[in-house]
Structure 1
Amino acid sequence: MDTDEVLDAVGPRLRALRKHRGITLAELSTTTGISESTLSRLESGQRKATLELLLPLARTYNVPLDDLVGAPRTGDPRIHLTPIHRYGMTFIPLSRRPGGVQSFKMLIPSGLTEPTPQTHDGFEWLYVLNGQLRLVLDDLDLTLPPGEAAEFDTSQPHWLGSADGRAVELLILFDPQGMRTHVHGPGSAGRSGQGT
Structure 2
Amino acid sequence: MTTALDHVGPRLRSARQAKGWTLDDLAGRAAMSTSTLSRLESGKRQASLELLVPLTRLLGIRLDDLVAEPADPRVRRAPTRRHGYVVAPLTRADSPVQTYKVTYPARDAAPAPRVHDGFEWLYVLSGRIRLLLEGRELILERGEAAEFDTRMPHSLSATADGVAEVVSIFSPDGERLHTRTSE
- TM-score between the two structures when normalised by the length of structure 2: 0.51
Displacement of 1:171 in angstroms is: 0.4
Q: Quick one: distance in 1 between partners of 2:73 and 2:94? A: 19
Counterpart amino acid of 1:171?
Answer: V
Deviations 1:36-82 (A, max 9, x none): xxxxxxxxxxxxxxxxxxxxxxxxxxxxxxxxxxxx98986653231
Partner of 1:161: 157
Secondary structure of the structure 1 residue equivalent to 2:77: coil
Q: Quick one: distance in 1 between partners of 2:84 and 2:135? A: 24
Q: Which moved more, 1:72-81 or 1:107-116?
A: 72-81
Match for residue 100 of structure 1 among 96, 99, 102: 96
1:126 counterpart = 2:137: no
Q: 1:98 to 1:78 in 2, by over 3 A?
A: closer
Q: Quick one: distance in 1 between partners of 2:164 and 2:153? A: 20
Counterpart amino acid of 1:160?
Answer: L
Structure 2 contact 75–92 (Cα < 8 Å) conserved? no
Match for residue 139 of structure 1 among 92, 111, 135: 135
Displacement of 1:145 in angstroms is: 0.3
Structure 2 contact 87–100 (Cα < 8 Å) conserved? yes
Counterpart amino acid of 1:123?
Answer: F
Q: Quick one: distance in 1 between partners of 2:75 and 2:95? A: 19
Q: 1:131 to 1:144 in 2, by over 3 A?
A: same
1:87 counterpart = 2:120: no
- TM-score between the two structures when normalised by the length of structure 1: 0.48
Structure 1 contact 112–161 (Cα < 8 Å) conserved? no
Q: Quick one: distance in 2 between partners of 1:124 and 1:136? A: 13
Structure 2 contact 75–91 (Cα < 8 Å) conserved? no
Q: How many residues align?
A: 107
Q: Quick one: distance in 1 between partners of 2:95 and 2:161? A: 34
Gaps of 5+ in 2: 1-67, 175-183
Secondary structure of the structure 1 residue equivalent to 2:132: strand
Higher helix content, 1 or 2: 2
Deviations 1:111-135 (A, max 9, x none): 3244211122110000000001100
Structure 2 contact 110–130 (Cα < 8 Å) conserved? no
Q: 1:78 to 1:97 in 2, by over 3 A?
A: closer
Structure 2 contact 128–141 (Cα < 8 Å) conserved? yes
In terms of Rg, which structure is larger? 2
Gaps of 5+ in 1: 1-71, 179-196
Counterpart amino acid of 1:125?
Answer: W
Counterpart amino acid of 1:128?
Answer: V
Displacement of 1:140 in angstroms is: 1.3
Match for residue 110 of structure 1 among 106, 113, 119: 106
Displacement of 1:103 in angstroms is: 0.4
Q: Quick one: distance in 1 between partners of 2:73 and 2:172? A: 28
Structure 1 contact 121–176 (Cα < 8 Å) conserved? no
Aligned sequence identity (%): 43
